[in-house]
Amino acid sequence: MRPAPRWLKIGLAALAGLLLLWQGWYLGWVIWWKWANPGMTSFQSQRLDEARQKNPKAELKRKWVPYEKISVNLKRAVIAAEDDKFIDHEGFDWEGIQKALEKNQKKGKVVAGGSTISQQLAKNLLLSPTKSFLRKGEEAIITVWIELLWDKRRILEVYLNVVEWGDGVFGAEAAARRYFGIPAAQLGVEQAARLAVMLPAPRRYERNPWSAYMEGRTQLIVGRMPHAEVPP
């Protein structure tokens, strides 16, 4: 068998080096954000670019608040709605992924994702919303780093401060003030559940946050909330 050409070896080595540098860049941010609060995330930056194509003066509504100033009701509601195994898993809910695959196969299209809070956070912080195998692979690697380097409290704190809750609305504080006129610390049980229900498609649900569907899902999450385990 003939040895591989020298140019191929050099090319593969260069590609491997670039991949290591690229992943190292992601890892550096994950390490930094263990202690420092993120400024503008990759997902927020893309939304702002989209908004400024229509209005050059557009700004996002977002305000960072520490973990202890976010209502425990919202923490419970988000875990109950998005990731009920959050405390126990190490970044991936394999049972949830399997159920999502089965549901998608049955429907013949993607109707469920099975992503955990940690996976969603990885995507929001550093990646794009586009769907591809490459992006999912990067998301998985970043998720592993987040779970290894951060505790669950930090993961939930950052998630609740950066996640999208409407057109130009990001984070619990901005969402609480946008929909209820109160700070995130004062959210009640039903208010928190309603916000949690919006998360899969916030810009769609904000058009009619009081619809029959939203009302039914809200009451379902209210019923699940007492069983949701929250990081102290």
In a domain, 145, yes or no: yes
Specify the pLDDT at position 9: 42
- Residue 13: inside a domain: no
Domain that holds residue 44: 25-52+60-227
* Domain tally, the chain: 1
8 A C-beta contact, residue 215 and residue 197: no
CATH number of the domain residue 149 falls in: 1.10.3810.10
| Residue 201 predicted with pLDDT over 80 | yes
Asked if residue 11 is part of any domain, the answer here is no
3-state SS record for 9-67: HHHHHHHHHHHHHHHHHHHHHHHHCCCCCCCCCHHHHHHHHHHHHHCCCCCCEECCCCH
The reported pLDDT for the residue numbered 14 is: 46
Give the pLDDT confidence score for residue 96 in this predicted structure: 66
**pTM of the predicted protein model:** 0.86
Q: Is residue 30 part of a domain?
A: yes
Higher pLDDT, 53 or 9: 53
The answer to the question of residue 99 being in a domain is yes
- Flag whether 130 is in a domain: yes
Residue 18 in any domain: the answer is no
In what order do the strands lie in the sheet containing 169-170? 61-62, 169-170, 164-166
Residue 20 lies in a domain: no
The yes-or-no verdict on residue 109 having pLDDT over 50 is: no
